[in-house]
Structure 1
Amino acid sequence: MFFDSSFIILIPAMIVAAWAQFKVSSTFNKYSKYGSRNGYTGAQVARMLLDSNGLYDVPVEVVPGRLTDHYDPSKRVMRLSQEVYYGNSVASIGVAAHETGHAIQHKERYTALIVRNSIVPAVNFGSNASWILFLLGMVFGMKGLIGIGILLFTVVVAFQVITLPVEFNASNRALKVLENKGVLYGDELKGAKSVLSAAAMTYVAAALTSISELIRLILISRSDD
């Protein structure tokens, strides 16, 4: 029953997460209806910005799904969703430029990105193993396992927190280069900023959720003391 009572800790984070998801979807939908004056597609903008930063060898690929856009640092590939890849809207261009920002971060060895990438294996392991070890520790009264579970989940929290400056920096890079290169103008830039700001809130919500989960684990672990 202690799990039920501790669940209340997650409610604020869940509310923020739901709002953030609604915000990013509604904002993207809004600015997907606004075509850019220059008529560039997301793929063209990504290619242009990559080439202007000497990243000629980073391919831009199209992937299925909605808002599945990402830069893969392990394979040095940018992947854009169909809507962004082929779209010429303010929203599509903003997202494409944001992902280009990550590629530039990788090239310049942006510290927060390097740190985040370095802990990915530990995060992948910890996200799955932390709760298993924690629950086994609680069931069998083994404080050592409980502590290891909490420690592993702390790595997950660290990943979410480090992600914040990485995402904010990529968005700032995107908006500056879109303006400097004359890709977007005036209200178009404001629209792209709105899209990227809404997307950033999803990362804030993820960090808040993971922090809340960590606090919950700590409180549960102390409930039997």
Structure 2
Amino acid sequence: MGLGSYLIYIALLMIIPIWAQSKVKSTYKKYAKIATSSYMTGAQVARKILDDNGLYNVTIEETRGTLSDHYDPRKKVVRLSSDNFHGHSMAAAAIAAHEVGHAIQDAEAYAFLRFRHSLFPIASFGDKTSFILIIAGVILQATNLILIGVIFMAFAVLFQLVTLPVEFNASSRAMTQLVSSGVIRNNEERQTKKVLNAAALTYVAAAMVAVAELIRFVLMFVLGDE
């Protein structure tokens, strides 16, 4: 890979995630100003959908940060950032419903979610150590070390790829639940989908970057190109 091509490659790896994050923030900011017809807070939306699905054991907590919303499968808790916990907006409803979508997946033992959970320990280890192993292998000219690093990186990339169906499925469940529960009306579906689609971009971007990096290091190992 020539210097010019390498710089373009590095630029793309930087630009894609930045663009995805910018898209999420701008879309969220826009729809955080538009209230749903039901005028329910994100916490109320989450509680209603959980109760409608018989998940009375799952609790809801407010958490610090912006867009720090997530579902904790170990403690069975949906955590919503303050703006979404208290907000009445389409953005708050969409994000709350999305996180509850993960809780529903957990309750139903959704296959991709279970697979992602099983991958997490080795993927986390690989994400932290793969670059160190590969760089050490290059410096020491130890191909076996590079190979081990590439294998660990592959598990981290696989985790990113498995995350995609998990997130898309949670968004699909969110839309179904928001409409069936009466939180949003049919004419609000389009705006709500925009919030969910923008959020999905971050996972797509992360997966694209991870795959590109893996391919580069696989080629480095196969071709001996440093």
Q: TM-score range by the shorter chain?
A: over 0.9
Q: TM-score under structure 1 normalisation?
A: 0.94
Structure 1 residue 220: Cα displacement: 2.9
C-alpha distance in 1 between matches for 2:225 and 2:159 = 29
Task: Supply the AA of the counterpart residue of 1:165.
Answer: P
> Partner residue of 2:117?
117
C-alpha distance in 1 between matches for 2:122 and 2:75 = 19
C-alpha distance in 1 between matches for 2:18 and 2:152 = 26
> Partner residue of 2:147?
147
> Partner residue of 1:165?
165
1:209-220 aligned within 5 A: 209-220=209-220
- How many residues were matched structurally? 225
> What secondary structure, in the 3-state scheme, does the structure 1 residue paired with 2:58 have?
coil
Task: Supply the AA of the counterpart residue of 1:95.
Answer: I
CA change 1:202–1:224 in 2 (3 A) is closer
C-alpha distance in 2 between matches for 1:213 and 1:153 = 9
> Partner residue of 2:197?
197
Over aligned residues, Cα RMSD in angstroms?
1.9
C-alpha distance in 1 between matches for 2:8 and 2:154 = 20
Q: Which digits, 9 at most, give the CA deviation of each residue in 1:62-119, with x for residues without a partner?
A: 0000000000112211100000000010110000000000000000011111101111
Structure 1 residue 174: Cα displacement: 0.4
C-alpha distance in 2 between matches for 1:178 and 1:43 = 13
Structure 1 residue 5: Cα displacement: 6.5
Structure 1 residue 12: Cα displacement: 3.0
In the alignment, structure 1 segments of 5+ residues that lack a partner are: none
Structure 1 residue 200: Cα displacement: 0.4
> What secondary structure, in the 3-state scheme, does the structure 1 residue paired with 2:34 have?
coil
1:223 aligns with 2:202: no
Return the structure number with greater relative CO, CA threshold 8 A, min gap 6: 1
Q: Which digits, 9 at most, give the CA deviation of each residue in 1:181-200, with x for residues without a partner?
A: 11101332211110000000
| Segment drifting more, 117-126 vs 187-196 | 187-196
> What secondary structure, in the 3-state scheme, does the structure 2 residue paired with 1:119 have?
helix
- Contact 2:219 / 2:225 at 8 angstroms: preserved in 1? no
1:61-100 aligned within 5 A: 61-100=61-100
Task: Supply the AA of the counterpart residue of 1:113.
Answer: L
> Partner residue of 1:58?
58
Structure 1 residue 137: Cα displacement: 0.8
> Partner residue of 1:47?
47
Structure 1 residue 10: Cα displacement: 3.8
* % same residue: 47
Structure 1 residue 216: Cα displacement: 1.7
C-alpha distance in 1 between matches for 2:161 and 2:117 = 13
Task: Supply the AA of the counterpart residue of 2:88.
Answer: N
Task: Supply the AA of the counterpart residue of 2:71.
Answer: Y
> What secondary structure, in the 3-state scheme, does the structure 2 residue paired with 1:62 have?
strand
